[in-house]
Every structure is written in C-alpha cells, then in structure tokens.
C-alpha cells in the first residue's frame, strides 16, 4: 500500500530577497516577456510551480507578461 506523505511547509523568501531575485530575473531576460516579447505588464513565473516543489531560484524563474503568465497557468 502507498503511504500518503504529508506536505512539507515551504519557506518563502523574505520580501527584500524576493524583490532582489525578481529584479535579477527581469534584468537577465532583458525586461521582455520570454514568450511574446512584450515589455509591458511583466511578471515572474516559476517554470516548475511552487505547488510542485519548484524552487525560488533564478534557474526556475522566467519573465512573462500577464497574458502569457495566465496562459502558462491555463487561465
């Protein structure tokens, strides 16, 4: 029988570290949506979702506009 494992509480970055990481990803991606290329309404997206244990790391983050970000989440 498969045992159900309890969820492990995920630590969130403090607000300053989170903003620093966000700014680094935006700079790295040239302040452009990495899907459509727009430079407006930019957001940071976890490629591997946090809900699937995706880390808060530069390698797991990408710049997307709000429209492409919503599409990535299927909304």
75 pLDDT tier (thresholds 50, 70, 90): confident
What span, in angstroms and rounded, lies between the C-alpha atoms of 27 and 30? Answer: 5
The tens digit of pLDDT for each residue in 2-45 reads 566 555 556 678 899 999 999 999 999 999 999 999 999 999 99
Residue with tokens 């949506």: 33
In the chain, domain spans? 15-72
């Amino acid at each position: 029988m498969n045992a159900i494992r309890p969820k492990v509480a995920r630590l969130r970055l403090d607000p300053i570290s989170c903003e620093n990481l966000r700014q680094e990803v935006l700079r790295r991606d040239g302040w452009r949506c990495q899907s459509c290329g727009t430079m407006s309404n930019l957001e940071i997206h976890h490629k591997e979702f946090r809900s699937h244990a995706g880390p808060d790391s530069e390698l797991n983050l990408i710049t997307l506009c709000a429209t492409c970000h919503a599409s990535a989440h299927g909304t």
